Chain A
Amino acid sequence: MNDAALAVASLEEHEIMADLIFLVITVGFFAVSIAYTHGCEKLRGRQS
């Protein structure tokens, strides 16, 4: 593999890694939001 091919490969890896990071952040945020939903319901249950 020549240098140019290596550079392209590392660029692609970098892009895929960036996509994975943002996917994890997105799914993580919504998972937290669902946990937050259940947390609010739990609080309501304790007070009723």
Chain B
Amino acid sequence: MTPIAILQVVLYFGILLVITKPLGSYMARVFEGEKTFLHGPLGWLERGTYRVLGVDPHRDMKWTEYATSMLMFSLASMVFTYGALRLQGILPLNPQHFGVKQMPADLAFNTAASFTTNTNWQSYSPEVTMSYFSNMVALAIHNWASAAVGIAIAIAVIRGFSRKSADGIGNFWADMVRCTLYVLLPLSFVGAVVFLAMGVPQNFDPYTVVTTLEGGKQTIALGPVASQEIIKQLGTNGGGFFNANSAHPFENPTPLSNFFTLVLIWSIPGAITHTFGKMVGNTKQGWALFGAMAALALAGMIICTSAEQAGTPHLAAAHIQTAATAMQSGGNMEGKEVRFGIAASSLFATVTTGASCGAVNAMHDSFTPIGGLVPLFNMLTGEVIFGGVGAGLYGMLMFAVLAVFIAGLMVGRTPEYLGKKIEKFEVQMAMLATLVLAASVLGFAALSSTIDLPKTGALAALNTWPGSVYGGADAVYGAATGNLNNAGPHGFSEIFYAYASGTGNNGSAFAGITANTPWYNGTIALAALIGRFLMIVPLLAMAGALAKKVHIPASSGTFPTDTPTFAGLLVGVVVIVGALTYFPGLALGPIVEQFQMNVLATH
């Protein structure tokens, strides 16, 4: 790693540490229903919202009611988005006159599922598909709501550990309203102004046509970018206003905006570990989780940046300068923005895939095999390396339950975590959540690697890219592997990455795969729905069961879970579960590709 890369990582963690305690404490106060400095200006809005919705914020819900409310809310908002996307042609704020032709049913389904689940996988190119209304209402509503749902679920799971002999785990509607009003809204308002000051546009103008230096015509897409950009990053959504996402100069104009974006992505996922510590009455418990996440993150950053900085044997054989100098980055610059270079691109890739954000400032498909393995592995851990807003914490708590269970087995005692006995049901639910993710990633990847769809007849449409909509010709692929840009292990990585991204609700694309076909739109949407909701339900069930339990005082036989030893055990469990479950997939993809690259370079 170069000195600038090391400095960037140190500065990044330094800022994250500074943010974690105050923001985490503030969020704990918000979700405990205590007064904060924002209750004065915004309290009336909270009370008014409850009155309009007919919600009693003090009424506790059993876990089943909490889960059902969350599911019904998600269903309603997904159907709304599907309808709004399909009807964009007759809705306002559509100066480019996009309609149903640009938004076929399978793409609308994929986009609605993707944004409802905080995945924000984009099979479409926003500039040639989405009206401003679609962007600002149909999609942006989920940038807020899906982030709030993730945080609300994490808070409900925390209550499972913090409450004693209780029936309920909180009120879903109150958690959603408080999260939106007191956490997301104020941070987004300030952040959007910062983005505006950095040069990110915010307008409703039609696209601008300019004459280039060569005399050609170029269409410059514009729009309400700053307001979308802030919640995209803060809420770990990741869906770009532009197809190039955070590599586009209007979304991410400078290295400073790039660093600001990185801080935004992990600000809430980092802070919520402190919220957890506050709510369970021992902040060291939160720091143990933060430490485990940071250790995994740091390892990924070092491996990814080192691999990209080292470049490839092919570049060296072609006598291309791969060492960094004062005037150029060196290493593997393919697919990277020259404004950001290797350090900022590798750090971004690690942060966005650790966080289930999915925003990208470089093309992960162009990373070296080992450099590309890191973002893939981050997603395969279940997005617990800080993770999505809320989702990272509840995912890490799932691993914490497994870690104390394993520790309990080793010493022959009933496992305990935060004064609660971890029994058969809790372990079953944690395992169910883990297995659901693995079944989705591996099942869909295996299916798409082998399925051969017909190239003629009515079923040919299942895997056809609608190129005629964009002024070209339709492409009929047949086999699902036909959509890949690369054969061999790299092609497999493209498929594996797509389903890891969908299931992990990350949304970043490895690229190199034409995914806007009914087959990929449908299966990636299902992967996103499974990865979100079929994981959340067992974790809420675990929280409901834990909330009912009595608190057991710590004894000499209690395994302390607020120490570096526990953080180390947690890291081990995350890596071992990830490695054992997904190693065959990783071996067939990036690991084989690395060996292949080295062998080819020497022959």
Listed in ascending order, the chain A residues whose CB lies under 8 Å from chain B are: 15, 18-19, 21-23, 25-27, 29-30, 33-34, 36-38, 40-41, 43-44, 47-48
- In the complex, whether B565 has a CB less than 8 A from a CB of chain A is no
Task: For the complex, give the distance between the alpha carbons of A5 and B106 in Å.
Answer: 24
Nearest residue (CB) in B for A16 is: B105
Quick one: CB contact mask for B266-310 with A, threshold 8 Å, 1 for yes?
000000000000000000000000000000000000000000000
Known: A29-B526, A41-B63. 9 other contacts (CB 8 A): A26-B79, A27-B75, A30-B71, A33-B537, A37-B537, A40-B537, A40-B541, A48-B425, A48-B545
Nearest CB of B to A12, in Å:
10
Task: For the complex, give the distance between the alpha carbons of A21 and B105 in Å.
Answer: 9
Quick one: CB contact mask for B438-466 with A, threshold 8 Å, 1 for yes?
00000000000000000000000000000
Nearest residue (CB) in A for B76 is: A30
Quick one: CB contact mask for B38-82 with A, threshold 8 Å, 1 for yes?
000000000000000000000000011001100110110011001
Contact A22 B67 (CB under 8 A): no
Contact A23 B79 (CB under 8 A): yes
Task: For the complex, give the distance between the alpha carbons of A34 and B425 in Å.
Answer: 19
- In the complex, whether B429 has a CB less than 8 A from a CB of chain A is yes
Contact B75 A22 (CB under 8 A): no
Contact B75 A44 (CB under 8 A): no
Residues of A within 8 A of B63 (CB): 41
Contact B108 A22 (CB under 8 A): yes
- In the complex, whether B210 has a CB less than 8 A from a CB of chain A is no
Nearest CB of A to B537, in Å:
5
Residues of B within 8 A of A41 (CB): 63-64, 541, 544
Of the A-B pairs whose beta carbons lie under 8 Å apart in the complex, a sample of 17, sorted by A's number, is A15-B100, A22-B106, A26-B75, A26-B112, A26-B113, A29-B526, A30-B74, A33-B533, A33-B534, A34-B71, A37-B64, A37-B68, A40-B538, A41-B541, A43-B425, A48-B425, A48-B545
Residues of B within 8 A of A40 (CB): 429, 432, 537-538, 541
Nearest CB of A to B83, in Å:
9
> Which residues 528-570 in B have Cβ within 8 Å of A in the complex?
529, 533-534, 537-538, 540-541, 544-545, 548
Task: For the complex, give the distance between the alpha carbons of A48 and B421 in Å.
Answer: 13
Task: For the complex, give the distance between the alpha carbons of A25 and B78 in Å.
Answer: 12
Residues of B within 8 A of A37 (CB): 64, 67-68, 71, 537, 540-541
Residues of A within 8 A of B71 (CB): 30, 33-34, 37
Residues of A within 8 A of B423 (CB): 47
Interface of chain A: mostly helix, strand, loop or mixed = helix
Known contacts: A44-B544, A44-B545. The answer to whether A36 contacts B534 by CB under 8 A is: yes
Residues of B within 8 A of A21 (CB): 105
Contact B541 A22 (CB under 8 A): no
- In the complex, whether B86 has a CB less than 8 A from a CB of chain A is yes
Quick one: CB contact mask for B73-115 with A, threshold 8 Å, 1 for yes?
0110011001000100000000000001000111011001100
Nearest CB of B to A33, in Å:
5
Task: For the complex, give the distance between the alpha carbons of A23 and B81 in Å.
Answer: 12
- In the complex, whether B428 has a CB less than 8 A from a CB of chain A is yes
Task: For the complex, give the distance between the alpha carbons of A15 and B87 in Å.
Answer: 12
- In the complex, whether B424 has a CB less than 8 A from a CB of chain A is yes
Contact B78 A26 (CB under 8 A): yes
> Which residues 163-190 in B have Cβ within 8 Å of A in the complex?
none
Nearest CB of A to B443, in Å:
16
Known contacts: A29-B529, A30-B71. The answer to whether A18 contacts B82 by CB under 8 A is: no
Nearest CB of A to B403, in Å:
22
Task: For the complex, give the distance between the alpha carbons of A47 and B529 in Å.
Answer: 29
Residues of B within 8 A of A19 (CB): 86, 105
User: Which residue from A23, A26, A29, A44 sits with its C-beta under 8 Å from B541?
Assistant: A44
User: Which residue from B68, B105, B529, B548 sits with its C-beta under 8 Å from A22?
Assistant: B105
Residues of A within 8 A of B540 (CB): 37
Quick one: CB contact mask for B506-538 with A, threshold 8 Å, 1 for yes?
000000000000000000001001000110011
Q: Which of A27, A30, A40 gathers most chain B CB within 10 Å? A: A40
Task: For the complex, give the distance between the alpha carbons of A46 and B526 in Å.
Answer: 31
Nearest residue (CB) in A for B67 is: A37
Residues of B within 8 A of A30 (CB): 71-72, 74-75, 533
Nearest residue (CB) in B for A22 is: B109
Nearest CB of A to B233, in Å:
28
Nearest CB of B to A34, in Å:
6
Nearest CB of B to A17, in Å:
9
Residues of A within 8 A of B534 (CB): 33, 36
Contact A22 B82 (CB under 8 A): yes
Task: For the complex, give the distance between the alpha carbons of A20 and B100 in Å.
Answer: 15
Residues of B within 8 A of A25 (CB): 109
Closest 6 CB pairs of A and B: A18-B105, A40-B541, A22-B109, A30-B75, A37-B67, A33-B533
Nearest residue (CB) in A for B432 is: A40
Q: Which of A21, A29, A48 gathers most chain B CB within 10 Å? A: A29
Task: For the complex, give the distance between the alpha carbons of A40 and B541 in Å.
Answer: 7
Residues of B within 8 A of A34 (CB): 68, 71
Residues of B within 8 A of A43 (CB): 425, 428
Known contacts: A36-B534, A40-B538, A43-B425. The answer to whether A18 contacts B75 by CB under 8 A is: no
User: Which residue from B74, B108, B425 sits with its C-beta under 8 Å from A47?
Assistant: B425
Task: For the complex, give the distance between the alpha carbons of A27 and B112 in Å.
Answer: 13
